[in-house]
Amino acid sequence: MKLLTHSPEETQALGEALGKAAQPGDLFLLWGELGAGKTCLVQGIARGLGVRDTVRSPTFVIVTHHPGRLTLYHIDLYRLDNPLEVLDLGLDEYIEGGGVCVVEWADKAMPLFPLEHLVVELRHVGEQERQIMLTAFGARYVELVAQVRQQMGLE
């Protein structure tokens, strides 16, 4: 699924639809350059999960937990340069933790993630516009993308 958002609010609305459709154990892997809107999207996912906390990029702490309908595990791999450093984080505990795992800069450690996941790629295409591509890997994520399309009126 590919779409264009024209503002941070529209990017957050997509995130909110993802959060509302999320189920325990879901894994969203985010790709995109600095400022592409990854954290903005995560803020929307948090809203869709009923998270009341303020969500910021966990660049320096690497992982933050936010309670909601499901716990949001927000992970940022920006500061990590070696996939072996990612192994030391114990990501499998978060991924298998029954919450929703959202990983920014996931492209730094793709071989370490389960085969079934949702890749969300964000690109600047204008001052406020972002092209966002959702790529489903596995039946669960094909279903999730269909739910998001329906929620957003894109059917």
**Residues paired with 135 in a beta bridge:** 119
Question: Tokens 């969500």 map to which residue?
Answer: 55
Question: Tokens 């600047």 map to which residue?
Answer: 124
| CATH, domain 2-151, list 3.40.50.300, 1.10.287.1080, 3.10.200.10, 3.40.50.1820 | 3.40.50.300
Mean pLDDT of 8-35: 94
- Using the predicted structure, report yes or no on whether residue 35 has a pLDDT greater than 90: no
Which of 94, 142, 67 is CA-nearest to residue 103? 94
Would you kindly state where each structural domain of the chain is located, as residue ranges?
2-151
What is the C-alpha radius of gyration for the chain, rounded to an integer number of angstroms? Answer: 14
Low-confidence winner among 5-19, 53-67, 95-109, 126-140 (lowest mean pLDDT): 53-67
- Residue 91's pLDDT is 78
The average confidence (pLDDT) of the chain is 89
pTM for this one? 0.92
Low-confidence winner among 26-35, 67-76, 86-95 (lowest mean pLDDT): 86-95
- Using the predicted structure, report yes or no on whether residue 87 has a pLDDT greater than 80: no
